[in-house]
Amino acid sequence: MTDWSPYTIRAAAWFESLRDAICAEFEAIEREAGSEAAFTYTDWKREGVGGEDEETGGGTRGVMKGRVFEKVGVNISTVHGAFAQEFAGSINGASADQPQFSATGISLVAHMANPHVPAVHMNTRFLTTTKAWFGGGGDLNPPIPYEEDTAEFHAAFKAACDAHGPDYYERFKAWADDYFYIPHRQVHRGVGGIFYDHLECPDEAGWEANFAFTQAVGRAFLDVFPRLVRKRMGMDFTPADKSQQLEWRGRYAEFNLVYDRGTLFGLKTGGNIDAILMSLPPEATWS
C-alpha cells in the first residue's frame, strides 16, 4: 500500500492556501462595502475516539460577521486516527478490523446579509483508509434565485470539470442534484452545483490527476462566487425578501442537521463542534 502521508501534507498545504485566498477576497468585499469586518481564527485539537491518546491533529476555524457576509465560516483540518467500530463500515476502505484513517480538507459556508445575494457552500477533501480518494464540490443556495447567477455558477464549475474529465460535469451535477435534496420537504436545498466523492487514487499518477481537479474546483469557486456577491450586495430588499431568506435558511439548517455527510463525519471522528456546526445560519425561521 502506498504511503500517502506526503500527499496528505501537500493537499493540506493547498487547502490552507485556498483558505487564505478566499478569506482575503471576502474581507476585500467587506472593505468595498465600508466595513472593517475580518476573520477571527480559532485553532482546535481533535478529540480522540475510542481511547486514542496520541496527537491526532486538528484544524482552524475561521469566522467573519460583517456587513455583506452576515456569517461566513471557512474551516481547514488535518486529522488522523481510528473510526469507531460501528461507524467504520460506512466509510470507503475502512472496516471494524481496519478502522484507521487520515483526512484533510477545507469547508466553507457563507450566509449573506442581503437576501438577493446567494448563500453558498464549498468543500474539498482528501481521505485515506485502505484506499485514498478525493471528494468535494460546491452548491449555490439563493433565497431569491436569479437564472443568470445560476448559469454563471454552473458554467464556472463546468469549465473546471471539462478540463479534467469529459463526463465529470454531468456526473457531478447529477450527484449534487441527488445529494442536496430534502426528502421530507420534497425540495432541493438550492440551485445545485457539483458534488463528487470517492474519486479514488490507485497510484501516484491518479493522485496527481485528482489533486489537479480538486484544485480546479477550488479556483472555480474563488473566481465565480465573489463576482456574484459584488453583483447583488448593493440591491435594495424588502421585509418580505428578508422573511423569505429566513424561511429558506430553516430548510438549509434541516438538511445540514439531518442529512449532511460532513456533519455526521465530523461528529463521529472527534471534530470540533463549533467548526462542524458553523454551517448553521445565524438566524432562521420556521412557519
Which residues form the catalytic set?
121
Q: What is the CA radius of gyration of the chain?
A: 19
What are the angstrom distances between the C-alpha of 215 and each of 17, 28, 161, 222?
A: 11, 22, 11, 11
**Contact (Cβ atoms closer than 8 angstroms) between residue 126 and residue 214:** yes
Ranges of H-type helices in the chain:
5-32, 85-88, 147-162, 168-179, 204-232, 239-258, 261-268, 273-276
The letter for the amino acid at 239 is P
The per-type count for the chain, helices as H runs and strands as E runs, is 8, 9
8 Å CB contact between 119 and 141: yes
Cβ neighbour number for residue 46 with a 10 Å cutoff: 20
Contact at 8 Å (CB) between 269 and 78? no
- Per-residue cell: 114: 442581503
Question: Which residue has 480538486 as its cell numbers?
Answer: 214
SS3 277: helix
